[in-house]
């Protein structure tokens, strides 16, 4: 913004009641792990980081999938454009359309365990949630509160000009994704541990997870995949492959009403949800699907 334009915005803000300058999102960089402080708070921060990176080992009783927090929030929740923890921490409490209520940050974390981890939410005030909150708060050290931070969430993609294609997405997956995540979407294991996460199937996130939205999955893929080569796929490839992976069977939505049609109408009434739709002769979300 030029000096002349800044002065013009300031004049408008002074002359027009309620007018405000539209500021660009603030940039922020979290502190390095070497700066974790000593003492009780630092120990909680370190535990939160361990839970985040090794969720099964440190919070396995609450996890029902072969996933860990850092699968969707890359670089231990530090990476801009990959739903970083520091950008989320300063934005809560916040209203969430998913719950139709104002949620605390702890409640937001509970949702991650319930849906993305296909598990059981740790109780508010539990050691697991306190440690994760401490880690998130520490990552946000120095970040402006209630500010729109650049890099929050996943960069949204423009809506596709034409409907995404399952067939094209299958080809994109085979070429760019199957090496790490497997042709069957089950991920890869080595040394008894999951090293690449499952994208569908019984050990992946359930139908209630945010990544079950084609729009969310496409945004994540475009910005961050293939791992180490984020931004290398075209927008169309990202939309197509997200459609393909979100058109596979996965665990049931915990909010299931007993009817796939009713559950879709209540929780998945979106063009970006495949829940309840029929693909290759199978109704996605139907009980009994494997």
- Spatial CA neighbour of 246 closest among 269, 215, 219, 289: 215
Widest pairwise Cα distance in the chain: 66
33-139 is a CATH 1.10.760.10 domain: yes
What residue has token string 């945010």? Answer: 210
pLDDT tens across 54-88, in order? 999 999 999 999 999 999 999 999 999 999 999 99
What residue has token string 């974390």? Answer: 109
pLDDT tens across 214-259, in order? 999 999 999 999 999 999 999 999 999 999 999 999 999 999 999 9
User: What's the pLDDT band for 148 if we cut at 50, 70, 90?
Assistant: confident
Give the domain ranges of the chain. 33-139, 166-283
SS3 content of the chain, % helix, strand, coil (to 5): 45, 5, 50
> DSSP letters along 84-122, please?
-HHHHHTT-SEEETTTTEEE-HHHHHHHIIIIIT-S-PP
What residue has token string 């603030």? Answer: 26
pLDDT tens across 84-133, in order? 999 999 999 999 999 999 999 999 999 999 999 999 999 999 999 999 99
pLDDT tens across 165-218, in order? 999 999 999 999 999 999 999 999 999 899 999 999 999 999 999 999 999 999
Q: How far apart are CA 29 and CA 83, in angstroms?
A: 14
pLDDT at 23: 59
Q: Hey, how many other C-beta atoms are within 10 angstroms of the C-beta on 290?
A: 5
pLDDT at 16: 41
Q: How far apart are CA 205 and CA 226, in angstroms?
A: 19
Q: How far apart are CA 209 and CA 228, in angstroms?
A: 24
Count CA atoms closer than 13 A to 47's CA, side-chain side.
17
Residue 144 pLDDT > 50: yes
Strand partners, 245: none
Residue range 166-283, CATH number: 1.10.760.10
Residue 5 pLDDT > 90: no
Residue 14 pLDDT > 60: no
* Same-fold call for 33-139 versus 166-283: yes
Coil, helix or strand for 12? Answer: helix
Supply 156's token pair.
């949204």
DSSP class of 149: B
**Mean pLDDT (whole number) for 252-269:** 98
Residue 3 pLDDT > 50: no
Total-model pTM: 0.90
- Spatial CA neighbour of 88 closest among 151, 42, 33, 22: 151
């Amino acid at each position: 913004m030029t000096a002349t334009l800044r002065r013009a915005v300031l004049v408008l803000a002074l002359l027009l009641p309620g007018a405000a300058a539209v500021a660009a999102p603030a940039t922020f960089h979290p502190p390095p792990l070497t700066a974790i402080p000593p003492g009780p708070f630092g120990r909680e921060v370190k535990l939160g980081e361990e839970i985040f990176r090794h969720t099964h080992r440190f919070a396995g009783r609450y996890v029902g999938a072969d996933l860990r927090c850092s699968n969707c929030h890359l670089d231990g929740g530090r990476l801009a454009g990959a739903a970083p923890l520091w950008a989320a921490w300063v934005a809560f409490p916040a209203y969430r359309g998913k719950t139709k209520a104002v949620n605390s940050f702890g409640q937001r974390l509970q949702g991650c365990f319930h849906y993305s981890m296909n598990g059981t939410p740790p109780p508010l005030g539990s050691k697991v949630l306190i440690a994760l909150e401490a880690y998130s708060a520490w990552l946000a050290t120095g970040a402006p509160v209630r500010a729109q931070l650049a890099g929050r969430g996943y960069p949204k993609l423009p809506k596709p000009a034409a409907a995404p294609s399952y067939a094209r997405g299958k080809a994109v997956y085979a070429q760019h994704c199957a090496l790490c995540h497997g042709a069957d979407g089950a991920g890869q294991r080595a040394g008894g541990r999951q090293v690449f996460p499952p994208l569908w199937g019984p050990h992946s996130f359930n139908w209630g997870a945010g990544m079950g939205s084609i729009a969310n999955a496409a945004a994540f893929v475009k910005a961050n995949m293939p791992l180490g080569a984020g931004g290398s796929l075209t927008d169309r490839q990202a939309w197509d492959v997200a459609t393909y992976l979100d058109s596979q069977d996965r665990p049931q939505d915990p909010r299931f009403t007993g009817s796939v049609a009713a559950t879709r109408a209540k929780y998945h009434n979106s063009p970006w949800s495949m829940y309840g739709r029929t693909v290759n002769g199978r109704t996605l979300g139907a009980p009994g699907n494997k």
